Amino acid sequence: MHRRDVIRGLSAGLVAGGIAAPFVSRAAAQSGKTLVFGGSVPLSGAAAETGLNVNNGYITAVDYLNEHGGVEIGGEKYQLKLSLFDDASDPSRAVTLIQRQLDEGTQFFLGSFGSNIVLPTAAVVERAGKLMVQTGGGSDQIFTKGYKNIFGMYPRASRQTRSTPEFFKGLKPEPRSISVVLTNDAFSKTSAQGMVNDCKAAGFEVLGTYELPEKVTDVSSVLAAIRAKTPDILACVTHDQDSLLIARQMIATGTNVKLLLQELGPQLASYRESLGKYAEGICVHTYWEPDAPFKGKFFPTAAKFAEYYHSKFTRPITYHVAGAAACIVTYILAMQDAKSTEPAKVRDALAKADYETFYGRIKFTPDGDGDPLLMGPSMAQVQKGKLELVFPENARTAPTIYPVPPWDKKA
Amino acid sequence: MNLILQTLADGLVLGGIYALAAVGFSLIFGVMQVINLSHGVIVVIGAYLALILSRLLAVDPLLTIPLVMAALFVFGYAYQRWLVQLAVERSSLLASMLLTFGVALMLRNILVWIFSPDFKTISPPYAFVHFHLGELTFDLVRVSALATSLVLLCLLAAALHWTRFGRIVRATAQQNLAARLCGVDARHVYALTFGVSAAFAGASGIAIGMVLPFAPPDEAFWTLNAFVVVTLGGVGSPAGALVGGLLLGIVNTLTAQYVGPAFPNATMFLILVLMLLVRPSGLLGNAFSPSR
């Protein structure tokens, strides 16, 4: 054999191998019955702190189900596999990553974290006729564009605070006024608008609505305005880092209200550690706690889920971890109902879903967001450094502290 | 009336921090014409170093300033001498910009790797203390950050104006060739300047870490912020950084109070564009330009 023939043969082999490789690997995956979940998560960039929690939730569910022999769908056993990439909290990068996975044939997607990322990626997945179940985006815009294939574990933002006025009304002495602080992003704006509308409808006086830029470095002007016109309740529909900044500046400037509610932030152990005893009494909406009385298939209870999570990760657990794992559990339950992994059939099963799980009852509205009554948030309050459920009554683990003592009394 | 005064006072405090965070960027740009896009990440590294050292040594974070500045001086010297300088000599100033951008990305990811993406805070015992002057409320930690900023800026201004090191830096910036003909080792001076700039960026990181929660992705904001401060105040001098920083701080709080809290960034960039059109060298001009 001549050297030229050897080179030719090798080249042909390499080219054929290169072209065939994706098909070979896909065929191998299918013969091994592997279900692949694609998507992106923010493991770096501004949303990385919660992004890491979401990612850990996905890993927890997949590892648990695989360790228990995989899942049975339509009489066949499947192992689960994650194909997630770091989108660096960048929506355009996330779209590129999702498009690449669509081109490679991924059928089932999990969500990133943050409405600003979920919104464009959901559009791409919907257009391709594939599915997405996500726990990272609550903005109304995700659920009001007529998408049929996008499902979210939260009610849309404007409905998330629907039960909040009822909580306020249960406080003694009953508060009369509220001010709302929000940041200029898709989630905060719609959620804050919902909060304002709900509170006005319930008869509360809204003293002020303060919109901050997306990147906040100082809230002294807003706090000066709040000190000049102090509401009973201050609600901050802001993200983790901004919530902490607001709380720290409130303490440092002696800006007191009877109750501080922050939509995101206090659910993180790092937030509570940073404020120490000053965190006492701050309220936060939460969608899940490890001691919640939820039971379901796969993870038998919320506590068992938390126990398994802690056996794998040292990072404190948050509701985002559980929500992410619930996305995968919901997918599998829908596939089992559909007895198929065909996207159209799974989509129909998801639309009809009504499942009891470790995360609570899962049922979507016709627009794909979580049912506001079944999947809406509970109210938690920081008490002795940990979160206690204070509303609704039937889930309460501790009475609400109200009015919360002024900051200098907590020192 | 009180609200206006409170807004102005808040703006001055914020501006002082902005000024310290920008002075290193200004110095490097003024002396070497290098736009250091890794400036912000050095600020954030300063905050992380202060966090570690203050916990390790159980001291006030402000007392870690000498150690943080020393460590970042060494880092800055080596970084300029063996990376930035090579890029400038072998290619162009543009290459140095790309290089510093790449280094910023790498360092940001290394910080995520070491410290996780979770935000951190530096909380000295007086972190949540406030005091009143008349009817104005002041947050002690911000005021101490402002005081630190003013002291460090004055020290730098004095060093540049009255010491031999300052004279050499100014000479090299104004007339590189003439300085070299007089026996000045320009490369060494550039590296020293970069080291001093990194040290000041690190010190500002301590002040910022006491005031704001911080995480690795914040670095981009502090680079951008430094750029705006320098464009407003002028290049190369602590005074320019101080004027730019204070102006930016006041514009920020006044806009937030009287236009809307969502608009400080929009106003900031509007002023940036106007300055570039009307007075591109900044309010105080380029401190090293007369001899060029």
- Hey, where are the domains in chain B? 2-129+136-278
- For residues B28 and B23, what is the distance between their CA atoms, to the nearest angstrom? 9
Share of chain B above pLDDT 70, in %: 98
Within an 8 Å CB–CB cutoff, is residue B224 touching chain A?
A: no
Say whether both A182 and A217 belong to one domain. yes
Q: Is residue A329 in some structural domain?
A: yes
pLDDT number for residue B176? 82
CATH number at residue A84: 3.40.50.2300
Distance from CA of B183 to the nearest CA of A (A): 46
Domain of A61 in residue numbering reads as 34-154+292-362
- For residues B11 and B3, what is the distance between their CA atoms, to the nearest angstrom? 12
- β-partners of residue A179 are A208, A234
Instruction: Tell me what the mean pLDDT of segment B169-178 comes to.
Output: 87
Q: Do A45 and B117 touch (CB under 8 A)?
A: yes
> For chain A, what is the domain count?
2
Beta strand segments in A24-70, E: 34-41
- The count of C-alpha atoms lying within 13 angstroms of the C-alpha of A181, restricted to the half-sphere facing its C-beta, is 33
Place of tokens 């500046």: A249
Distance from CA of B234 to the nearest CA of A (A): 23
Say whether both A106 and A169 belong to one domain. no
pLDDT digits (tens, 9 = 90+) for B8-43: 888 888 899 999 999 999 989 888 888 999 999 999
- For residues A77 and A75, what is the distance between their CA atoms, to the nearest angstrom? 7
Say whether both A299 and A228 belong to one domain. no
Edge to edge, the sheet with strand A205-212 lists A205-212, A177-183, A233-237, A259-262, A283-286, A378-383, A386-391
pLDDT number for residue A122? 96
Say whether both A111 and A250 belong to one domain. no
**Over 80: is that where the pLDDT of B53 sits?**
yes
B212: nearest CA partner in chain A: A245
CATH number of B2-129+136-278: 1.10.3470
Longest dimension (CA), chain B: 59
Give the residue, B189 or A161, on which the prediction is more confident. B189
Q: Do A221 and B10 touch (CB under 8 A)?
A: yes
Within 8 A by CB and 6+ apart from B85, the residues are: B187, B190, B191
Is cis: bond before B238, omega within 30 of 0? no
**Over 90: is that where the pLDDT of B74 sits?**
yes
**Cβ-based burial of A318 (10 A; exposed 0-12, middle 13-18, buried ≥19):** buried
Distance from CA of B60 to the nearest CA of A (A): 16
- Six-digit token pair at A387? 């979160």
pLDDT number for residue B289? 62
pLDDT number for residue A32? 62
Which residues of chain B have a CB within 8 Å of the CB of A184?
262
- For residues A310 and A289, what is the distance between their CA atoms, to the nearest angstrom? 14
pLDDT-derived band of residue B72, with 50, 70 and 90 as boundaries?
A: very high
Which residues of chain B have a CB within 8 Å of the CB of A407?
128
Q: Do B257 and A225 touch (CB under 8 A)?
A: yes
Does ipTM top 0.90?
no
Which residues of chain A have a CB within 8 Å of the CB of B265?
213, 215
pLDDT digits (tens, 9 = 90+) for A44-54: 888 888 999 99
Give the residue, B176 or A75, on which the prediction is more confident. A75
Which among B6, B108, B264 is the nearest to A224, CB-wise? B6
What's the per-residue H, E or C state across B170-228? HHHHHCHHHHHHCCCCHHHHHHHHHHHHHHHHHHHHHHHHHHCCECHHHHHHHHHHHHH
- For residues B54 and B32, what is the distance between their CA atoms, to the nearest angstrom? 34
Strand, coil or helix: A381: strand
Distance of CA A202 to the CA centre of its chain: 28
- Six-digit token pair at A158? 């404007």
- Determine contact, residues A159/A376, Cβ cutoff 8 Å: yes
Q: Is residue A26 in some structural domain?
A: no
**Over 60: is that where the pLDDT of B282 sits?**
yes
| A residues 142..201 contacting B (CB < 8 A) | 184
Say whether both A145 and A164 belong to one domain. no
Say whether both A137 and A186 belong to one domain. no
Is cis: bond before A173, omega within 30 of 0? yes
Q: Do B117 and A213 touch (CB under 8 A)?
A: no
pLDDT-derived band of residue B153, with 50, 70 and 90 as boundaries?
A: very high
Q: What is the enclosing helix (H) or strand (E) of A160?
A: helix A157-160
Report the 10 Å Cβ neighbour count for A31: 8
Q: Is residue A3 in some structural domain?
A: no
- For residues B21 and B231, what is the distance between their CA atoms, to the nearest angstrom? 14
Say whether both A281 and A397 belong to one domain. yes
- For residues A356 and A361, what is the distance between their CA atoms, to the nearest angstrom? 5
**Over 90: is that where the pLDDT of B258 sits?**
no
Q: Which residues of chain A have pLDDT under 70?
A: 1-32
